[in-house]
Structure 1
Amino acid sequence: MPQLAPINWLFLFTLFWLTIATVAVIIWWSYKPNYMIKTPAQSPINTPPSNSWPW
């Protein structure tokens, strides 16, 4: 394994934990529950009159 400067070891250490944290956040974000307030379905304002003719 080649010799690395200390600054490169710090960079690799930071990059490794940043990758671990990013993957953890992505996994958490994809499995988090979505809480939504359910609103009742609104009926249209102008409903057409129903046809009472039997044809």
Structure 2
Amino acid sequence: MEIKKEQKQNAVRLSAVENGEELGAMYLYLIQNDSHKEPYGLLEDLLVKEEHRKKGIG
């Protein structure tokens, strides 16, 4: 028996930066699989620093 590993996803880290300070960040995973005809995205770990929340950043 042979087991093959295929990796069909990529992660992108996106961040909101103002005047050199990171205000928030998130990860966007681009995923391809046999269940979907086209790649799709999964947004995860969306974090905004507490002092910058409720300002429309996230």
Q: Which TM-score band applies after superposition, normalised by the shorter structure?
A: under 0.3
Which structure's residues are more often helix, by fraction?
1
Which structure's residues are more often strand, by fraction?
2
Task: State which structure, 1 or 2, has the greater radius of gyration over its C-alpha atoms.
Answer: 1
